[in-house]
Structure 1
């Protein structure tokens, strides 16, 4: 039996904070910005991306205090490196906005533009994505403000370097090819996106403007995948002859201590499953300030970099961070789990995803060899992970297990709620028993297939 996607609840007849008719904000694909917070199971949620993904430590601490004062004190960092503040009320969203302004935090209007997190400080960087973002927003200000653009239109500016953005998919990718040349590609990640233009910054910005114009003409909600190929080639007749350098791999992992080519040390920090309490974050930032950290860079992978620590302070900082619930070592099992907010934090979720995640780490260690992602989705919308994975989707009937798919896909097996720990433990044991020498968990699971997985789950 297939899992049907949970229907979004329409809120017609209401108005948002600016007196405009409200739109459905609980659907997958909506963007809960300050002007249009999203109703969830624990109040309103706001997502924001500070300019360049950069904050001072005092600014980040101010955000944490504001989250505690005006929300429920829970902050999240998304898979794309954006900030979310939970548990707000209609009357406190404006107070949060005032605090953001008072802290000197700039949140650009229009769609979020993700940039390489180490921009401006990475000696391996090919070209400065922050400067490109400023030029792009200035030149295309009116186009990017169009209400006809999709709320979650995604743009990436990848300057290259030690921590690139090749793993992130986007509607529009602008990738540095040399200090004076940029590639523009659409609809995909560093390997799959389709190149449409290449040239100096001015030409790249012009190409982005053409794409944005096409999307606006297609109508609200349109994404790059909806652009008709003949129309695209009519606008970009030279696209098939483009020669370019593919985006490099993501480079360094997020969590851990990293030494850049110029000898500077940065520390990658991951809250467990991307979620943290304001009090823990403030304590971490106080410690980091005392140890000489000077800046924060939000990063894809649900974490951030601490900039400015001296190498000799890093071990103590890592120990302190671990005591506050943050991971600062690569290879933590939580890195291989994509968990949405879950029940209690989202009105659409049918189970507590993070609670289950911690249990499964204990009972099914064979799943966490790094070869696959376990996606724990509270409902069929799949907000936490947009790619195929080993997925557990919640529903009123229990859990649906999808071997290599999305949360809305048809499950190979349905599992009753009270039996989920035992079922996944049996699946992990079956993988261990059937692994060939040197075979990964993902490869073994693929070989077992739906029949083998179902058999393992049904064993007593």
Structure 2
């Protein structure tokens, strides 16, 4: 967003009882952007997406220092590659915005437009999504700024390449088909989204504009899933005849060293469970800069890429990253865990999620075959993961275990606080004893069901 606009809009014009400027509050479910921070158990939270998901190392370090100065020093990268800064106070939000301005970080107005993280440097890329994003924002500026659009409206521009975005769901997808043509689809990931238009960049932008107008007409807060298919066909009569290129599965894991076809080396790193302390991030960035890294690209999957490292420096950087709490090797079990800030990081949390996550990794390795996500939520809000998962929710009585659901769902089994270690071990043993040859952990748990898992957990 325009930083000046953010400075103006982070105040309501009123002051609180202590004479501090009041911060505009948003309901839960809205997007906690710079202009509308969200109250959480550890203060205010803001979420931002730099233009193109790109930062210099010095800009990223400046954000980390600002997070320490004005918040609680904790930064997070979300599953969609957005950056969150936690623990802000009403009087420090404006100071954070000022620091972002000084650092020269551009945070565009309106809904986030997610682009392929390696845009412009991936030789396998079909077309440059950054240029498409700029064209969308320029041509559709007024529509994208409409207050009638849902705060969490999501747009994806996928240029293809080694790290594509086919696994991410979105309201509107703009996907490169060739150097000249783009596909526009709505409501879903690369497989499920419904194609509505295909053609030149200009035709794609026009189609996106039509969809935005439809959403604004339907009423405030509506999403692409709310558009009547019959109405959609009146606006896009050729949609049923569209033949698009099948989406390509992501060919590159986030964490680890990757050499692109043109010889460039990038290092993907993931903060443990998506969360990092300012001091650790600054130390990692200082080391990366000293070894020749030139840029950072935030990426879906709760991590980022370091760009520009000479290949011979990567092994030492991977070791250094691990020492600062970052996974820099593919296949680490922590990538299958979504954990919120937890007790000590959030006043709403009822247990230390990260401590328990490490216990799961050590005691229940059978869970981490890649077939499911383990969601550790300190309370029933479920901030860290919005999709069904194997979920452990904190409660006043202990824990609630949900086999395939959200943190707010009714637990399939309740676990007393002092029994959690026993429950973890019992769950791991149940999977090991009951998994058929070739069966995934997720399939095994589904087959056992709530009755089978509950029975196993209650055995002495």
TM range (shorter): over 0.9
In the alignment, what sits opposite 2:26? Answer: 25
In the alignment, what sits opposite 1:420? Answer: 420
Indicate conservation of the 8 Å contact 2:296/2:307, yes or no: yes
Indicate conservation of the 8 Å contact 1:42/1:347, yes or no: yes
Deviations 1:320-350 (A, max 9, x none): 1111111100111110101122334344433
Distance 1:424 1:234 in 2: 54
User: How far 1:422 moved relative to its partner?
Assistant: 1.5
In the alignment, what sits opposite 1:301? Answer: 301
Indicate conservation of the 8 Å contact 1:166/1:250, yes or no: yes
Deviations 1:256-291 (A, max 9, x none): 000111111100010001111111111111100110
Aligned alpha-carbon RMSD (Å): 1.7
Secondary structure of the 2:335 match is: helix
- More relative contact order in 1 or in 2 (CA 8 Å, sep 6+)? 1
- Please list every run of 5 or more consecutive structure 1 residues that lacks an aligned counterpart in the other structure: 1-14
Secondary structure of the 1:335 match is: helix
State the TM-score, normalized to the length of structure 2: 0.93
Q: 1:19 to 1:345 in 2, by over 3 A?
A: farther
Distance 2:26 2:346 in 1: 12
Distance 2:345 2:41 in 1: 5
Q: 1:241 to 1:408 in 2, by over 3 A?
A: farther
Secondary structure of the 1:45 match is: strand
- Please list every run of 5 or more consecutive structure 2 residues that lacks an aligned counterpart in the other structure: 1-8, 15-21
Distance 2:54 2:360 in 1: 34
Distance 2:26 2:359 in 1: 31
**Structure 1 residue 103 and structure 2 residue 103: aligned?**
yes
In the alignment, what sits opposite 2:405? Answer: 405
**Structure 1 residue 364 and structure 2 residue 358: aligned?**
no
In the alignment, what sits opposite 1:55? Answer: 55
State the TM-score, normalized to the length of structure 1: 0.93
The correspondence of residues 185-334 of structure 1 with structure 2, limited to 5 A, is: 185-334=185-334
User: How far 1:397 moved relative to its partner?
Assistant: 3.6
Indicate conservation of the 8 Å contact 1:40/1:345, yes or no: no
Distance 1:57 1:332 in 2: 25
Secondary structure of the 1:444 match is: helix
Distance 1:61 1:351 in 2: 30
Distance 2:72 2:386 in 1: 27
User: How far 1:245 moved relative to its partner?
Assistant: 1.1
Deviations 1:346-390 (A, max 9, x none): 444333322221222122122112221111123333332222221
Distance 2:440 2:327 in 1: 24
In the alignment, what sits opposite 2:430? Answer: 430
Distance 1:350 1:219 in 2: 38
Instruction: Count matched residues.
Output: 445
User: How far 1:26 moved relative to its partner?
Assistant: 5.3
Secondary structure of the 2:177 match is: strand
